[in-house]
Chain A
Amino acid sequence: MELRSRVPGGPIERKWDTHRFEMKLVNPANKRKHTVIVVGSGLAGGAAAASMSELGYQVKCFCFQDSPRRAHSIAAQGGINAAKNYRNDGDSIYRLFYDTVKGGDFRSREANVYRLAQISVEIIDQCVAQGVPFAREYGGLLANRSFGGAQVSRTFYARGQTGQQLLLGCYQALEKEVARGGVTMFPRTEMLDLIVIEGRARGIVARDLVTGRVSTHLADAVVLGTGGYGNVFYLSTNAKGSNATAIWRAHKRGAAFANPCYTQIHPTCIPVSGEYQSKLTLMSESLRNDGRVWVPLRGGDRRPPGEVPEAERDYYLERRYPSFGNLVPRDVASRAAKSVCDEGRGVGPGGLGVYLDFADAIRRVGAGTIRERYGNLFEMYQRITDENPYEVPMRIFPAVHYTMGGLWVDYNLMSTIPGLHVIGEANFSDHGANRLGASALMQGLADGYFIVPSTISDYLASAHPTPVDPSHPECRRVEAEVAERTRRLLAIRGKRTVDSFHRELGSIMWDKCGMARNAAGLNEALRRIPELREEFWRNLNVPGSDAELNQALEKAGRVADFLELGELICRDALHREESCGGHFREEYQTEDGEARRDDARFGYVAAWEYTGDLAAPRLGKEPLEFEYVHLAQRSYK
């Protein structure tokens, strides 16, 4: 397997422009002769499908939800970064680039990140033009707020529903193209495999979730924008349907999987309340603009928060990180919360929580202003916990939120399978070992609106794909494999439900490969996951048939893939004998408990190749070079 990053030469500021000029074009009359499949309709997939259709390509877009508007991008709350420097506070493309490389703990590809920062500026313009109602100042100019890991205010937002508004803008552009005939939409249709012919991605096999019909869809190129795999942990802030099946199937067809162990544990989520818990709810990081994080100074202090005097509170983020305070990056904030809870100072049931307190902010700017900034988040918190955050501090705890790892892609966002492009959270590209807040929306839209529409033209113009017929033996073979897998899931007729397996996998992953990892725990996980997988295929109970809407069957297929991916995540975490970003190995920390990287041994992207044996994936390495941002121990002190 060859990992050629295809990063263009020249100074970093010029790379993308140079590349855009050097890439081949498809002439307008020929574009309509090409079909491109886009799987996923979130910010990345939806934007790519709409933009490629505008260019003239025939696009087939697939989503498992009943409408493309329901993709999980919709749930992003806080905002989207852009290096506009509208605040005149010293922001620039270079600073956004620098913050993102540093925030990612020096495990991302510099050229990709620089391009992301460049494009960030155009994204805001594009979204405003579509009618996205970003927050504005009284004078009519766009407003900004601050997010973690940055000392400038560069985050654009629409109340606490920024993802929703960006996705609706994107969805509306997509529906416009559906009406025009450029995009054919396949809702409630799930990709179950990838078709690779003569070494190139040429289509997918998908199941109509209503009728159960499995069919082959062919194209000249395939784009996956299917999101992350946080649900491997069962409890996460992801939507219930979010899954890894598309990228995992592509991995098993030859696409390398990069840095699977880089998972983001978000510091501000509502704590777990019971066994029945089906998902976790994020409270936007933007709350850390005004909320102060604290726990009682003494362990075992069970007084209600209002009765703990100032002097007996530990505002531990402000204490440990005076220059960034409550706005340290997510990985740092999560680990700090874990360590105060480990010391027995956590609050709420089980001691797994810390306070996020708005009392000072309400005194400073008034409850009305706080309501204006975060009203919908406060309401959501109250609905879930039955506590009023205007009166008592929120209780928060870290939860799995985002996966920085994903399919390996080159500078063109193409995977190791020619013709298979991967965008948004599904790829590994821009966030290194930790993603900064408000950067996921930026990356999804950069990939979808601006990058992949350009690079796909270059691919099509260079590859000259020849027509393939659905009767091609490879299509028949993959379709038969998909049908066989479904048949097997239904034929087990065992005793345990899909959810019971999923919960068990999730608890192994969270305990052994969560906020802190060590070799002993990872080795134990690597023993237990294959055992659980073996039991899954022996003792699973999926009721019903494959010729109907069967939600248990859908879940079973996804959990089967999580049971394989989970093992790869642990394997990657075990091999990476350093701590960086979201990957914290207890054996590798500084004296004051910060992550200790090992650039000499691990300054690379780990790209795993499927060999046919889940226990023995082959490791490929893409070395990372830092020409512009000086490699340094991250400090937010």
Chain B
Amino acid sequence: MNLTLHVWRQAGPDAPGRMVRYEAADISPDMSFLEMLDVVNERLMQTGDSPIAFDHDCREGICGSCSLMINGVAHGPNPGTATCQLHMRSFADGDEIHIEPWRARAFPVVRDLVVDRAALDRIIAAGGFVSAATGSAPDGNATLIPKDTVDTAMDAAQCIGCGACVAACPNGSASLFTAAKITHLGLLPQGQPERLQRARRMVERMDIEGFGGCTLYGECQEACPKMISIDTITRMNRDFLRASMTPVRAAVAESD
């Protein structure tokens, strides 16, 4: 396959960026999208150019490192597929492909296609956990958890933290990311004691980080490589609403 790429190049966070055209010749349809970029980079380096920087690591669709807006779609055209699992057989010979970084106020560009997603870590730090200090746990079977409950929690817990939901959202909202964690932990008995304060703190943190609000466009669930549903956002909103109407001390008591 022969392809024409238009790639966002930006030398650093404060440098101006622009789209640059590259010809990608002799690409195998069995290559992954990132392997195609590897080939382009090898050729760039052989001619003394600087390679295109992009984030990637596991290349199995689970670490959440890879990103890329491909022809304006986060993670490219295939539903439920991260960029590293997208293969060139999804494109046709002669295609023009536009490749850009995640674009969101809360995700500043570091270089080329690499963005800073540390804001997502700070949302988790604000409350996306169960406080269970090492050594304090009861037996794993001490609390029975219905299979349906744990399966639904797992659907949300699959989030890989890639940030596609933010990139896809016209508002640059991290609601799907945040709601996935709130849903995962909020469904399980272990997550109940901190449930309301978790929702309040994580949502507040999302605002502080500069993510937009959710107006239910639904673009996030289309882009999500784990196909996490926006039903989780409904749950987040419910928990957040309850938390905001409950005084802090009482909220703690109530969620007990």
Contact = CB atoms under 8 A, between A and B. Distances in A.
Contact of B144 (A139, A173, A239, A241): A139
A71 B42 CA distance: 26
B140 A125 contact: yes
Given A129-B190, A134-B150, A549-B110, A172 B129 contact: yes
Nearest to A445: B134
Nearest to A278: B35
B30 to A, nearest CB: 5
A84 B118 CA distance: 38
Nearest to A72: B58
B145 A69 contact: no
A144 to B, nearest CB: 11
A575 to B, nearest CB: 34
B126 interface: yes
Contacts of B128: 172, 175
Interface stretch (B62-70, B168-176, B212-220, B230-238): B62-70
14 contacts: A51-B134, A72-B63, A86-B141, A131-B153, A131-B185, A136-B150, A142-B141, A164-B158, A175-B129, A178-B121, A178-B125, A179-B125, A379-B80, A499-B38
A277 B188 contact: no
Interface in A264-289: 273-274, 276-279, 281-282
A34 interface: no
A274 B58 contact: no
Nearest to A453: B134
A511 interface: no
Interface of B: 11-12, 28, 30-32, 34-35, 38-39, 42, 45-46, 48-51, 53, 55-65, 78, 80-81, 85, 87, 89, 110-111, 114, 116-118, 120-121, 124-126, 128-141, 143-147, 150, 153-154, 157-158, 160-161, 184-185, 188, 190-191
A67 B147 contact: no
Given A66-B117, A172-B130, A161 B141 contact: no
Contacts of B46: 497, 541
B137 A128 contact: yes
Contact of B60 (A75, A173, A178, A544): A75
B244 to A, nearest CB: 21
Given A130-B130, A134-B150, A273 B30 contact: yes
Interface string A500-511: 100000000000
Interface string A311-327: 00000000000000000
B133 A54 contact: yes
A543 B61 contact: no
Contacts of B111: 548-549
A240 B87 CA distance: 18
B32 A129 contact: no
Given A51-B133, A75-B62, A276-B35, 7 more contacts: A66-B118, A69-B121, A70-B57, A131-B153, A131-B185, A164-B158, A383-B78
Nearest to B124: A175
Among B62, B124, B138, B147: residue with most chain A CB under 10 A = B62
B51 A551 contact: yes
Contacts of B39: 276
A71 B111 CA distance: 21
A156 B130 CA distance: 20
B125 A175 contact: yes
- In the A-B complex, the 8 residue pairs with the closest CB atoms: A140-B144, A172-B129, A129-B137, A129-B132, A125-B137, A175-B125, A179-B125, A128-B140
A450 interface: yes
A127 B138 CA distance: 10
Contacts of A70: 57-58, 63-65, 161
A69 B64 contact: yes
Nearest to B81: A383
Interface in A156-207: 156, 158-159, 161, 163-165, 168, 171-173, 175-176, 178-179, 185, 187
B131 A176 contact: yes
Contacts of B45: 497, 541, 543, 552
